[in-house]
């Protein structure tokens, strides 16, 4: 009789341990998914901040368009000279969080 109770308790303990492990794995998977979603949202917010900083730094050059996706900045539009384009690229490159600057700038003909 005592052996049956001990076996029953051990089986209950094993079942509870297995259920807890499964629940932990499930919770970890949910947490990973939530963190991935938060990282994506954080990237979008960071991209917006990068774009804003570059636009503020290039406020005197309204003809230059700025877009940012995952830290990659694209400058577009027309500039008066290659020096102006080079300066815009340097300004964009200096902003924290910028991974790369792509230039689609063209030099306006005179």
Model pLDDT, residue 108 = 86
Q: How many domains does the chain have?
A: 1
Give a yes or no: residue 83 inside a domain. yes
Confirm whether 9 is domain-assigned. no
13 domain residue, yes or no: no
Q: List the 72-79 sheet strands across, edge first.
A: 64-69, 72-79, 100-107
The pLDDT of residue 3: 66
pLDDT tens by residue, the chain, 110 residues: 566 666 667 676 666 666 555 554 555 556 666 555 555 556 677 999 999 999 999 999 889 999 999 999 999 999 999 999 999 999 999 999 999 999 999 998 76
79 lies in some domain: yes
Going by their DSSP bridges, the two strands 72-79 and 64-69 should be labelled as: antiparallel
pLDDT at 30: 62
CB atoms within 10 A of CB 53: 19
Assess if residue 91 is contained within a domain. Answer: yes
- The answer as to whether 89 is a domain residue is yes
Residue that is written with structure tokens 């830290």 in the block: 71
The answer to whether residue 72 sits within a structural domain is yes
User: 36 in a domain, yes or no?
Assistant: no
Residue 88's domain comprises 64-109
Q: What is the 3-state secondary structure of the chain?
A: CHHHHHHHHHHHHHHHHHHHHHHHHHHHHHHHHHHHHHHHHHHHHHHHHHHHHHHHHCCCCCCEEEEEECCEEEEEEEECCHHHHHHHHHHHHCCCCCCEEEEEEEECCC
């Amino acid at each position: 009789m005592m052996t049956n109770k001990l076996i029953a308790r051990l089986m209950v303990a094993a079942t509870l341990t297995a259920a807890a492990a499964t629940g932990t794995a499930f919770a970890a998977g949910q947490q990973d998914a939530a963190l991935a979603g938060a990282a994506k949202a954080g990237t979008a917010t960071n991209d917006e901040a990068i774009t804003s900083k570059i636009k503020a730094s290039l406020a005197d050059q309204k003809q230059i368009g700025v877009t940012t996706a995952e830290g990659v900045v694209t400058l577009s539009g027309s500039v008066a000279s290659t020096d102006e384009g080079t300066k815009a690229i340097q300004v964009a490159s200096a902003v924290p969080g910028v991974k790369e600057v792509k230039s689609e700038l063209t030099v306006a003909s005179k």
